[in-house]
Amino acid sequence: MAVTLRSLCETASYLYGMRVIAGSGGMSNIVQWVHTVEDIEVSEFLHGGELIFTTGIANRNQDWLLPFVKNLIQKQVSGLVLNIGPYITGIPKEVIDYCNKLNFPLMDIPWKTRIVDISRDFCNRIILNEREEEDISQALRNIVFFPGDAEKYIPILECHNFDSDLNCCMVAVKAEMADGSPVSKAEDRIERLIHSYKKPWGGFKVDMINYYVLSGFNPEEIEHLVSDIQALQYNHLSIKQICISVGMTAGKLSELSKNYQITSRLFVVSQKKKISPSYYDKMGMKKILLAVDNIEVLKSFYAENLMKLKSYDNENGTDYMGFLRMYLEYDGSVQKVAEETFVHRNTINYQLAKVKKILGNDMKTLEDRLNLLLAFYIEMLI
């Protein structure tokens, strides 16, 4: 439930005389904190995500402003507020044009407005929002990991506009950065995208994977959001790769623990198969495996059907597992396997006979082949 510049500034016009001068397209920027910066050298200590106030007191002419703005944009701050008065008497057109071009929010306040008042107000609202985020995150965690106590925590979420009767979807996202940039920059962009839907949401992190819980999002909105998140890896050079899995889109808050199990298992499959995004609702019969509570049952089924062949490959340096997987995926067609591997049909039949002997399974029935195919699906989950 991130604080955006737009939400901070909703009442700032009549409380503090604030005006948006340029870069209105960036008002959805997330604000992490508020700082007053007068010297361009001080900007080296910024982390990104700050809203900057300045009076221009450290500068003697208007030529400083454009380099100052460029430096702040490079530091990925959320916006700049100019205190118009004796040190900043006007805003050069080139600065306004530059901010509009890059959608960098540029605002001003009159000299009579005390920066300490407006910054205190904004900081208090950021702190309050962080507390709300923590309450939501902790409630979601408790429902996921202590499902028997879900009834204790659902009311907390309802106090933050979650509706227990609406569909609740879980989305797992992990971003990998390319140039050593902090992953928080990618997470900020993701939160900004989610926030733009103006619907209740929250999240928590497990093993470097972010789990976002979306309340009241319809399937079309979820697909559009996921598509926009996935596109970040192509639109921003600092993001090397993003992996996404989407759990049940029609779950309820009371089913959040089950949804987490499904989403996290599906995420493992997404990483192994390098398929992103992946949707539980589109997994066909694999949905049954993802929803199995007892992972030991799946391990046992896998061992009964494929462990002999896997052990043989490990001991002899063969790849009959890969051969069998291809054979099953081509619906048991020797001809298709031969065409795909550029190997004669007789050789394929020989290999197939070898596999049948190792497994002790002649694969004559549909059930025989289905058991093996299910075992390969399980292999991705365990």
Q: Name the one residue in this structure whose structure tokens are 């989610």.
A: 194
The CATH classification number of 5-113 equals 3.40.1390.20
**DSSP three-state, residue 276:** coil
Q: Specify the pLDDT at position 62.
A: 63
Task: Look at the alpha carbons of 81, 85, 89, 90 in this order and tell me if their dihedral is positive or negative.
Answer: positive
Of the candidates 21, 45, 27, 17, the one whose C-alpha atom is nearest the C-alpha of residue 118 is 17
**DSSP three-state, residue 36:** strand
Kindly report the number of other CB atoms within 10 A of residue 170's CB atom.
28
Q: Please tell me the least confidently modeled range out of 61-75, 91-105, 195-209, 305-319.
A: 61-75
Q: Specify the pLDDT at position 242.
A: 93
- CATH topology for 127-290 is Alpha-Beta Plaits (3.30.70)
Angle among Cα 202, 205, 207 to the nearest 5 degrees reads: 160
Q: Once rounded to an integer, what is the mean pLDDT over residues 109-120? A: 94
Q: Which two tokens stand for residue 287?
A: 């949905």
Q: Name the one residue in this structure whose structure tokens are 């790769």.
A: 241
**b/e per residue 3-37 (b: at least 16 CB within 10 A):** bbbbbbbeebeeebebbbbbbeebbbbbbbbbbeb
Query: Can you give the residue ranges of every domain in the chain?
Result: 5-113, 127-290, 295-379
Count of CA atoms in the C-beta half-sphere (13 A) of 97: 3
Q: Is the model more confident about 340 or about 143?
A: 143
Helix (H) or strand (E) holding 115: helix 115-145
Residue 36: band (very low, low, confident or very high) from pLDDT cuts 50, 70, 90: very high
Q: How many helices (H) and strands (E) does the chain have?
A: 15, 10
Q: Specify the pLDDT at position 184.
A: 80
Q: Which CA distances in Å does 164 have to 181, 198, 200, 352?
A: 38, 17, 11, 53
Residue 348: band (very low, low, confident or very high) from pLDDT cuts 50, 70, 90: confident
What residue type is 1 in one-letter code?
A: M
Q: Specify the pLDDT at position 43.
A: 63
Kindly report the number of other CB atoms within 10 A of residue 194's CB atom.
22
Give dist(CA 190, CA 287) in Å, integer: 27
Specify the length of the chain in residues: 382
Give dist(CA 155, CA 161) in Å, integer: 10
What would the DSSP string read from start to end of 29-95? -B--EEEE--SGGGGGG--SSEEEEE--TT-SSGGGHHHHHHHHHHTT-SEEEEEESSS-----HHH
Q: Once rounded to an integer, what is the mean pLDDT over residues 2-7? A: 84
Right CATH for 295-379 from 1.10.10.2840, 3.30.470.20, 3.30.750.24, 2.30.110.10:
1.10.10.2840
Give dist(CA 201, CA 205) in Å, integer: 14
